Structure 1
């Protein structure tokens, strides 16, 4: 009988992470899941012999190291890592404080790096495994007023994931950068998305975008997180999984809108681009 892979999923008490953990357990995978409190994981998922709920502060490298070691000690191995923990910070570049910006980077960027730093040695030594870094379509294009900082955190995730894919390839470890579009989770709920502490009324386009996301888009997202979870599991079964994975028709359409824009601007200003050569 096949021994099911061990998954390590961060940010698992709600949203896509919670849906993924439930789908994994339903398919008899072994899962270590983390959140800020163990209680929230048990309340959301329950108890299962294949489930290890771990309380973890993702911004603490020491905490993350202990969680990874607890997973390996409990299950005897580590096969798939999903860097899913993160939150949306709304606000223009001017109105967000240094503290608000750093907090978003601490969770969305440095938190994922903590997980990678501590998980990579296990995957590298066993010479197999898979790392999923969950970015956002906002990590591919950032032209959303009021979401510049959040998008910049996801652009950072995209950048280091592309490098990670090359670094881990010689060890037989796959790396996939996931760009989800809008999925019907609680990501945009008032308990999850953070708004600026000191908004500036003059930024009307940012306020309109904020209101649209919190009031119209929230609860009406076009994509199903259950299907996203199924896709991630299927990707681990592929012999040559992608480095870049866009999820959702909205994400698909936005990819080509940026490709078209970049192509147009590159050709429009080609003379200046080429002028700089010796």
Structure 2
């Protein structure tokens, strides 16, 4: 009988991460899951012999290494890594302090890098595995006023994941970027969406976007997190999983709008673009 894959999921005490963990356990998969609060995680998930709750500070390499090692100690291996932890940051580029901006990168990018670096030695040794990085449609299209730094973290995550895919594919390791649109989780709630300490009133469009996300969008997102979680679990069973997986009709439409806009600009400015070569 084939052994079920062992999953390692970060940011699992709420939202999409929690849905993934619960569905995996219901299917009998061994799951290690992380949160800053192991008590909140255990309470949200409940008890299960296949469940290993871990308190982890993702910005600490030592903390991440201990969690990955504990997973292998308990389950004997690690097969699917889901980097789900992260948070939103709203605010105009000028408004956000260096500290606010860097902290968003520390969690959304460098926290993911910590997990990847600590998991890869095990995956390399096995010659198999799947790293799934939960990005956002905001990692593909950045025209969201007030979300420039958040978009930058997700663009960074998309870029490093694309490069990672080429590095680890010859080692038998798959890589997927998941780009969700708006899903009905608590992502837009005050404990997941950080707002700027220093507000500049001239940025009326930023305030409008922030207000819309926190009020009109929050609780009315079209995406079903249970269906999103099921889609992520499904691709881990594919022999050739996608590098890019957009989730939600809104994400699908936004991605196409970005591609069409780039195509139109490429053609409009083609003469200037191709005129910069050195002539023989």
Match of 1:86 in 2: 86
**Alignment TM-score, normalising by the size of structure 1:** 0.99
Structure 1, gaps ≥5 residues long: none
- What SS does the corresponding residue of 1:175 show, helix, strand or coil? strand
Alignment correspondent of 1:107: 107
Instruction: Report the number of matched residues.
Output: 278
RMSD between superposed Cα atoms in Å: 0.7
Q: Which residue of 1 aligns with 2:154?
A: 154
* TM-score, length of structure 2 as denominator length: 0.98
- Moved beyond 2 Å, runs of 4+: none
Q: CA deviation at 1:3?
A: 2.2
Which runs of structure 2 are paired with 1:1-278 in the superposition (5 Å)? Answer: 1-278=1-278
CA distance in 2, matches of 1:170, 1:57: 31
Q: Which moved more, 1:231-240 or 1:55-64?
A: 231-240
Distance in 1, Cα, partners of 2:192 & 2:242: 30
Alpha-carbon distance between aligned partners in 1 of 2:57 and 2:203, rounded to the nearest angstrom = 34
Aligned-residue offset at 1:236: 1.1
Please list the CA deviations of residues 141-188 of structure 1 after superposition, one character each: whole Å capped at 9, or x if unmatched: 100000000000000000000011111101111100110010000000
In structure 2, stretches of 5+ residues that fail to align are none
d(CA) in 1 for partners of 2:237 and 2:100?
Answer: 39
Distance, in Å, in 2 between the alignment partners of 1:10 and 1:90 is 22
Deviation at residue 43 of structure 1 after TM alignment: 1.0
